């Protein structure tokens, strides 16, 4: 059966960058680029049409997000792609959106930074048992955000946009880890990080639980481009580390080598301390001005929740070998990420001693983990101290 297709302009604010056909289920068909606006075309899709199709697919909420399937059913969507189209592909991370060819909508009419909205999809996935159908309260719901955890965008009384995140499983440790990481950055006097706060929320079974929230670091004048999207602009050799290709792209876009190295050095070392095993290329991003396309630097460090051995059972914490930790990042071996660090002194070890009482807010049966987490963190601290004194600790196979 032939799918019905409709024409849309992909817009960057009020600049049409291409005309594209999209079927009822959100599948992208033919694309005709506006060469006069080529500089505003999404970076991730500039290389060829295949890359652009991938950019479009990546814009939808991941099918793997917790509660996504039931949320789609309850909202009447056939897929996350159809939800994306229904909500005009609007985002709180950048200034791209789609405009039906026959409609006269403008950026001012539609954008989520200044117009009221309700994140109905997030409402259902975070609070599935007690859902009020809010679809009729606003024309435009938010249907794009990366990541697989439960997430929901909200607006506070001052009009500021913020995101609430939940956790996997019965523990609140991922949310607590965000607070822990933010405290580490605060103690370091490092300003380029996302501030997280704890929030109370309803979880499955009408139980009150803990999540975390952060304010949007994007706006009408600041948009975010993930490292993964940047890497789609160049050819990468098979099994090549993403570090040098990412550096090449950032420098080509106008970032200074010092700014690139200092930020990544600091991030690698602090991720090492908190054992963040999920600094993949969608958890690193740059920010730019969507009007001038000027790169402003790196996005503040965000999404540090998959850290501090959150998914390792208590009885296995004593068996952790710190030199054998696997991570999703530039390369697979955590300790070898330190090879990329040029300035080993960017983290002040004396200001990295941490208070672990935040983990007392986790469910009671997890409190037994706190001394173990503290012990593992302090062992990491000693290894980083040795690294800062010049020791190439990835060459040492001890399990210190």
Q: What is the largest CA-CA distance in the chain?
A: 67
Domain annotation for the chain: domains and CATH numbers: 5-165 (no CATH), 223-395 (1.10.1070.20)
What pLDDT, on a 0 to 100 scale, did the predictor assign at position 77?
47
Scored b (16 or more CB within 10 A) or e, 191-230 reads: eebbebebbebebeeeeebbbbbbebbbeeebbbbbbbbb
**Stretch 326-330: mean pLDDT:** 96
Rounded to whole angstroms, the Cα distance separating 238 from 235 reads 10
Q: For 117-154, write each residue's pLDDT tens digit.
A: 866 544 434 443 333 232 333 333 333 333 334 678 88
Neighbouring residues of 288: CB distance < 8 A, sequence distance ≥ 6: 222, 223, 225, 253, 294, 295, 296
Q: For 172-197, write each residue's pLDDT tens digit.
A: 999 999 999 999 999 999 999 999 99
Computed over every residue of the chain, the mean pLDDT equals 86
Model pTM?
A: 0.87
What pLDDT, on a 0 to 100 scale, did the predictor assign at position 397?
54
Q: Retrieve residue 225's tokens.
A: 């481009």
Strands (E), 39-112: 96-100
What pLDDT, on a 0 to 100 scale, did the predictor assign at position 87?
82
Closest CA to 180 of 195, 165, 164: 195
Rounded to whole angstroms, the Cα distance separating 68 from 122 reads 9
Q: For 257-286, write each residue's pLDDT tens digit.
A: 999 999 999 999 999 999 999 999 999 999
Q: For 338-392, write each residue's pLDDT tens digit.
A: 999 999 999 999 999 999 999 999 999 999 999 999 999 999 999 999 999 999 9
**Stretch 229-233: mean pLDDT:** 96
């Amino acid at each position: 059966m032939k799918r019905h297709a409709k024409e849309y302009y992909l817009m960057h604010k009020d600049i049409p960058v291409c005309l594209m056909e999209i079927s009822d289920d959100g599948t992208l068909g033919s694309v005709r680029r506006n060469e006069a606006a080529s500089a505003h075309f999404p970076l991730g899709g500039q290389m060829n049409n295949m890359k652009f199709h991938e950019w479009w697919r990546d814009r939808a909420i991941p099918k793997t997000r917790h509660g996504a399937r039931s949320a789609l059913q309850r909202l009447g969507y056939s897929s996350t792609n159809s939800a994306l189209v229904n909500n005009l592909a609007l985002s709180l991370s950048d200034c791209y959106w789609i405009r039906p060819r026959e409609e006269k909508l403008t950026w001012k009419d539609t954008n989520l930074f200044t117009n009221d909205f309700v994140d109905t999809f997030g409402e259902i996935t975070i609070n599935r048992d007690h859902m009020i159908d809010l679809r009729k309260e606003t024309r435009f719901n938010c249907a794009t955000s990366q990541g697989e955890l439960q997430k929901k965008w909200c607006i506070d009384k001052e009009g500021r946009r913020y995101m609430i995140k939940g956790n996997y499983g019965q523990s609140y440790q991922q949310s607590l880890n965000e607070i822990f990481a933010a405290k580490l950055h605060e103690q370091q006097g490092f300003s380029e990080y996302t501030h997280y706060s704890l929030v109370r929320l309803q979880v499955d079974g009408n139980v009150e639980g803990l999540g975390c929230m952060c304010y949007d670091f994007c706006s009408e004048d600041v948009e975010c481009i993930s490292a993964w999207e940047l890497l789609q602009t160049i050819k990468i050799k098979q099994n090549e580390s993403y570090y040098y290709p990412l550096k090449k792209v950032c420098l080509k876009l106008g970032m200074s080598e010092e700014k690139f190295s200092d930020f990544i050095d600091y991030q690698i070392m602090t991720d090492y301390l908190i054992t963040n095993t999920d600094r993949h290329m969608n958890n690193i991003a740059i920010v730019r001005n969507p009007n001038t396309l000027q790169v402003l630097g790196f996005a503040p460090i965000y999404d540090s929740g998959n850290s501090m051995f959150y998914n390792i059972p208590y009885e296995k914490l004593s068996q952790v070998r710190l030199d054998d930790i696997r991570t999703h990042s530039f390369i697979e071996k955590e300790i070898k990420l330190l090879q990329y660090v040029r300035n080993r002194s960017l983290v002040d070890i004396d200001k990295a001693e941490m208070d672990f009482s935040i983990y007392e807010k986790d469910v009671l049966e997890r409190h037994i983990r706190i001394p173990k987490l503290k012990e593992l963190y302090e062992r990491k601290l000693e290894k980083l101290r040795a690294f800062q004194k010049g020791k190439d600790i990835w060459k040492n196979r001890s399990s210190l």
